[in-house]
Homo-oligomer: A and B are copies of this chain.
Amino acid sequence: MTLNGWDVIRHEVLRRIRVGEWPQGTMIPSEVDLAREFGCARATVNRALRELASAGVLERRRRAGTRVAALPVRKATLDIPVIRQEVEARGQTHGFRLLAMRTDPAPVPVASRLGLPPGTPLIWLDTLHLADGQPFVHETRWLNPAVLPWTLPDFGQISANEWLVMQVSYTRGDIAFSAAASTLRESEVLGVPQGTPLFITERTTWLFDAPITLVRLAHVPGYRVQTVM
């Protein structure tokens, strides 16, 4: 392994960790030493070690050096696609129905999540996404009109999910996944018995300090979020 490629170095470091040559918590040689060993520039070693650190395998601190993470907090990357893409990736046809849309004062829980005064007028959207004509996910969304372009599209023609992703940028957002019993409305819309366990995704997005939207996605039974490590 004297020839180049930062990925070769990355794999070799991983191998040494795996076979126990560098046990968890150990300091590993400095970049300079490794560069000498591998016969490459320090920047190449740096690249390899930086990737491993961002994957949670190594912990690096200036002066303190690099150590193998003691209790490795594994990191997994999730792709958060637009719903239409998600459906089409399954080889199904995406459709949606805008069930309701109106402007309402923000209820307290919504307002507090968004950091707005209760009663702030928000647009409320209720959308059902379909995969091959069957219910796929029920989308309940609160939109803050104050941060949106003046002309909203026809949300019967383009789903809010997709329009926001394409037209509205955000600076910050968070996602939460949970499980919940279907509400009465979700049962009706998704066509499942009330109380059915549903996979729930909740997202909020922000443009600097201004909240843009809060959305709750109630997925049809059987839905899974999957990723590799």
A contacts, CB < 8 Å to B = 17-18, 24, 56, 71-82, 85, 162, 165-166, 169, 171-181, 195-200, 205, 219, 221-229
Contact = CB atoms under 8 A, between A and B. Distances in A.
A80 B71 contact: no
Contacts of A228: 172-175
A166 B71 contact: yes
Contact of A77 (B75, B174, B196, B199): B75
A118 B229 CA distance: 26
- Most central of A75, A78, A165, A199 by chain B CB within 10 Å: A78
Contacts of A77: 75-78
Report the copy number of this chain in the oligomer. 2
Contacts of A76: 77-78, 80, 175
Contacts of A18: 169, 171
Contact of A177 (B80, B162, B225): B225
Q: Would you call the interface of chain A mostly helix, strand, loop, or mixed?
A: strand
Contacts of A78: 75-78, 227
A229 B197 contact: no
Nearest to A55: B77
Contacts of A72: 165
A187 to B, nearest CB: 13
Nearest to A181: B197
Contact of A178 (B82, B85, B180, B199): B199
Nearest to A205: B229
B172 A199 contact: no
A173 B55 CA distance: 14
B80 A223 contact: no
Most B C-beta atoms less than 10 A away, residue of A74, A79, A181, A221: A74
B197 A177 contact: no
Nearest to A227: B175
A204 to B, nearest CB: 10
Contact of A199 (B80, B81, B174, B177): B177
